[in-house]
Every structure is written in structure tokens, then in C-alpha cells.
Structure 1
Amino acid sequence: MKEHLPYDDQLAKMLGRGLTSADRPGAIAALKRIGYYRLSAYTYPFREPPSEADIAAKRTRAETFRPGSSLEDALHLYEFDRKLRAVVLQALQELEVGFATKIGYTLGKRAGDGHLKLQHLDASACTVVNRDGVTAHAAWVARYEKLRSDAKDEEYVKHHVLHYGGEIPIWVATGFMDFGCLIRLYSLMDARDRKKIAYEFGLRGNGADTLYRWLRALNILRNNCAHSNRIWNRATVDVPPKFATQVAPEHLHHLNDLDNDRRQKIYLLIALTAHLERAVNPSSTWAWSALPTQAKKLGNVGGMTLENTMGFPDGWQELALWRK
């Protein structure tokens, strides 16, 4: 177990590796506010390339910092990322609510308990058995019941327990489902219903499969935003595949032109968020106001820009996706 370090020693450790700071009191205040390891994540891009010893030790960067690197630049990245998370989460929450509403309305037209009865879903998808010997639908129901139990003190849940014997229709139940639960339910719905919802998000053809892959990746981003994890230069672990051009609208076609390196960066997910959020709320200004305003605040920090660290294409603001 590592020894506990006082704040002065934490700062000394950073400065001893070549990082500079013109404001010692401000640096100590930042360590008290943010914490050494969370802040260290934003100093990491300023480290020297790995030496042979670093590579042998499986380190991707050296312990020392590039000349001219400052703690103030790392704090700029931290503040940029913190505000970017808030902006992105705002759009993802609106998308989540809109998606829940579409599922509740579409499946509710079949039956109030359509989420619990296989005859209202895709039986072949629901009966796939996982490695634990449990069907996909049974596993989903277990998660659903846990969320329902967690929401037992919500007024709308207590109302249905009191007046309807605890029977909660799908258009109400979506209120306590988290994004992951909703996405999994979507994958179990009747193909016609999935296609209908995908169509409402502007996707054609086999758009249901494409929408599912997009939402699955966006759920990871949403969770990182909600838990204050770094997102600005985080590699995407579940990169959505390229789509057929007839599936998605033209303003998204440039995403297929991104090379593999850029596809693993956050621009791809931010662009998908912009499209889906606007499908939920056509009057939204997020894509041409809130997101660009924050994105431009990165500027150029030690040679790091939107284009070379976050996957934004050159001239991105001129693309149709980011215009009124």
C-alpha cells in the first residue's frame, strides 16, 4: 500500500518530475479540490515519450514531463473536460428521456405489460441463453425488478401499487429504467417496433441495428459523464461500426470517412448525440450553440487541439450537422 502524502508533498512530486507552476497556493488549492490522481490524468498528456525502460515496464509515457509543461495547462484541460461533460450529459439526458418515451408509447400500443410478455416481443431474441443458462429476457426482467424495487418510494410507483395491485404499464415503468435497461429492452422488442423507433430517429433500412449500436456506445459515454470520469481524450471502447449510407441521413455521412484512429475518439459519439438529440427535440440549439461554444474553449494546449486529440475533422463547424 502506498504511503499517504500531504498536499505539499503531492505538489513537490509533480514539480520534481518537471512540471512547472506559477501559482503555488492555487496549485495546492486545486489538489485539495480535485485530488492528486484525478488531476494526474490531465497532466499525463504532457509527459515525455516512453524510454526503453518505460516500454519494458509497460508504461506508455515517461515519468517526466516535456519542457515547458505547466500545472496551469493541466488545470485548463480539467476545467474544459468538466464543462464538456456537463454539456454532453445535458444532451444525453434529453435523448434518454425521449428514447424512453418512444419505447413506452410503441410497446404500450401492444399491451401495458408488453415488456413482460414474450408474445409482444421478439421471441427469438428473448430466448437466447447466456453463459449462466439464463434467457436474455429473464436476465432483463431480473434487472427490471431490481430497478422497480429501488423506485418503490416514488409517488407514481406507490400510486400503481395502491390502485392497480402493483401492475405498472410500460409507459410508466420506463420512468425508473436506466438507459442501459432501456437499450436492452429495445434489443428484445419486436422487429417492427424497433424499426418504427429507429425511423423516428431518422434511420432507414436496417436502422434498428444501427441505432442499437449507437445507443450502446452512448450509454458508456453517459455513464462516464455522470460519474465525472475524463471524456475529452478517452478512447471509445465500443466503437459503432460504419453504416450503410442509405440508413443514416446525409449530415452523418462524413462519420464514415473518419479513419480508424479518429473513430476511437469522442467526436464520433458527440456527432451521434447531436443527431439523436435533435431528433428528440427538433427545436434544440445544442448542436449549433451549446456544444460548439464549449468545444472551442479547448484551444491549443501544448499542441493539443480538437482535431488531433478528440477526432474532430478539419472545418467541422461548416458541416451541415453543426449548422442551424
Structure 2
Amino acid sequence: MRMMKVFASHDEQIKILQERGLSVPDKAAAKRILSRENYYALIDAYKEPFLQKDERLNPYRLERYIEGTEFGHVYALYRFDRELRMLMLNELLKFEKNIKSKIAYRFSEKFKEADSFLKPDNYSSDSRHHHERDRIISTLANLIKSHKKRDRVRYPAIREFFDKHRNVPLWVLANFLSLGQITNFYTVIDEELRERIARDFAEEYSEEYSPIRLKASEIDAILVVAFPYRNKSAHEEVLYRFRLAHPVELGRAEELMAMPKGSLSKGTVSSMVNLLKLVLAREEYEVFSKELERLVDELEGAVMEQAFEKVMNDTEFSHEFRNPKKMT
């Protein structure tokens, strides 16, 4: 039977940490940080790379910190992960905007009649997709319906467009779909459209880097990786050590990017970083990668080498990553 956790003051929390071998040189600063950040969100979430795992030094496997670890080291990892989330979210939102734009454009180009996105025949004929297709159509129909008559509306831009034009096209509605919904939309449209959108991404990459071909299945896989990263980045969950529960097939993408087999499929932070290169403008990706390199360099200078290497192993950032020439 587990013992219930009891309340501990900031002073008591610091004492517990010291008893476990964590050095707290500036107690006043540590108390201020704990009052802002919360013990659980800071210590429990980021202590792992700093804990002593060597059985010779910790034979009873107690929660002990590696000798020399300071409170500031844990806080540095916390700040690194927070900035990593913000940086990743910014780029994932760009990808989200990009795929929404491409889907809305290509679908509307093929099906030009008003409200074409509400007609089941304009989607995949594969019966396996019909349930999700109907959900997407219902979501889009409800977005329009809820903004026609209600005085209080969730998205004023939809109401304004409807009031002016008496209809709301897909290229307007797509902006108000979540990444999960737009992922499902991409799944249930017909295969010709799916491949056309994949070619759009490939053509953009080819113009800025070197010629490649992307299939719809590869865009599917990228979306499978991007969706949880987008959510974790937005909801302030620990990001640096996250990876997909189940690998995805990204063998062709690894070949296209001259990466070792299996390096993308695990869905680590490194996987997501590299996949973003396929779906962002080159200039944006270069700015992103340099900022990411800065974050890694700052962490390396702020924590002990042993903890830093553990974090790099969790992210799967290679040593080459720290050289910006390797990222562009």
C-alpha cells in the first residue's frame, strides 16, 4: 500500500532535496523558483538525468542525485524544455497552416461547386473511411450552422464571411479545424488529391534543396508524428524525452534525407526536428535550427556533462546536430 503524499512547505521541499544529495547554494532563489514553477512540474518532471543510477555508488537504488548536481542544473533543464516546446510549437503551427492551405486549395480546385466539402461523393470511396468522412462533414456543417444565426459566436471571422458572402468556403473553414481534424480530412479525401498534396510538399522542397518525391503515405506518417508533438508543446508537457509509443514507417523519408534506417521512425524529438525540414520553407527551417542549436549549447554550458549526455540520448540529437552546417 502506497503512502499518501503530504503537503511540504518550500523550506521542507528544499531540505528533502538536500537530503537526497542535491546542492542548493541559493535557498532564497530556489524558493522563488519553486513558488513560481511548482515542485512537481520542476523536480519530479526533470530530475531523471541527474539521479545516481550507478549501483556501486547507489546500491540500494535510493533517489540520490549525482555528486555535484545543483538545483540550478535541474532548473536549466526545465527552462531548456520550456523553450524547446515554444520553439517546436511555433514551427508545428507553420506546418499546420501549410497543410491546411494545401488541402483547402486542392480540394476546392477539384470540387468547385459551393459546399462541395459537404458532399460524401467528393471523398474517398473506400468504405473504411466513411465513418471518419461523415464526422468531418458533420464538423464542417456544424461550423457553418453555428455561425449563421447565433448572436454569440465562437469564431467571428466565420460569421463575418457568411454575412458578407452568404456562404463559407473550405479555405475559410480549414483555418478553424484542429491539426487532428485536418489530419483526418487528409486521410478521407480521394487518393488522387492526397498524392497531389504530397507532390506540392515535394515540389517546394525540391525547389529549395534537391529533387525528391513524396507519397501521401509519407505525409500521413509525418502527421502521425506531428500531432502528439503539437499537443505536448501546447500543453506544457515534458517534451525532450517524448517519443511515439509505436514506431511509424518512414523508411523512404530516411532515404531521401540520407539518414540511417530507423532514425525517424521512433518519433523522438530528433525525428520531429528532421521531419520539419520536409514541410517548412528553407529559410524558416534554417532560423529554427540555429535557434535550436543555441538552446542545446546553453544547456551544455549549464549542466554537468553526464546529465547533458543523458538528455541528448533522450532527444536523440546527434553530435553532428550541434554543428549548424550539418542542419542546413
- TM-score, normalised via structure 2 length: 0.80
1:94 aligned partner: 94
| Alpha-carbon RMSD | 3.1
Query: Superposed, which structure 2 residues align to 1:11-160 within 5 Å?
Result: 11-40=14-43, 41-49=45-53, 62-109=62-109, 110-111=111-112, 112-124=114-126, 127-128=127-128, 135-144=131-140, 149=146, 152-160=153-161
**Compared CA separation, residues 259 and 218, structure 1 to 2 (3 A):** closer
1:57 aligned partner: none
Matches of 2:321 and 2:74, distance apart in 1: 25
Matches of 2:104 and 2:217, distance apart in 1: 19
Matches of 1:147 and 1:29, distance apart in 2: 45
Structure 1 unaligned regions, length at least 5 = 55-60
Q: CA deviation at 1:292?
A: 2.3
2:316 aligned partner: 311
Q: CA deviation at 1:264?
A: 4.8
Q: CA deviation at 1:299?
A: 1.2
Give a deviation string over 1:31-70, Cα, whole Å, max 9, x none: 111101111211122123397xx9xxxxxx7422222222
1:58 aligned partner: none
Secondary structure at the aligned position of 2:272 is classed as helix
1:286 aligned partner: 287
Structure 2 unaligned regions, length at least 5 = 204-211
Matches of 2:242 and 2:123, distance apart in 1: 36
Give a deviation string over 1:134-169, Cα, whole Å, max 9, x none: 81222334555666659934232112443455x421
Greater fraction helix = 2
Give a deviation string over 1:283-315, Cα, whole Å, max 9, x none: 653344223222332216331236433212232
**Compared CA separation, residues 283 and 230, structure 1 to 2 (3 A):** closer
1:232 aligned partner: 240
Matches of 1:159 and 1:16, distance apart in 2: 61
Q: CA deviation at 1:90?
A: 1.3
**Compared CA separation, residues 201 and 225, structure 1 to 2 (3 A):** same
**Compared CA separation, residues 36 and 307, structure 1 to 2 (3 A):** closer
Secondary structure at the aligned position of 1:27 is classed as helix
- Counterpart amino acid of residue 38 in structure 2: G
**Compared CA separation, residues 42 and 184, structure 1 to 2 (3 A):** same
Matches of 1:144 and 1:9, distance apart in 2: 53
1:147–1:177 contact (8 Å) kept in structure 2 = no
Q: Which moved more, 1:312-321 or 1:78-87?
A: 312-321
Percent identity over paired residues: 21
Matches of 1:182 and 1:10, distance apart in 2: 45
Q: Which moved more, 1:287-296 or 1:17-26?
A: 287-296
Q: CA deviation at 1:89?
A: 1.2
- TM-score, normalised via structure 1 length: 0.81
Q: Which moved more, 1:108-117 or 1:39-48?
A: 108-117
Q: CA deviation at 1:97?
A: 0.9
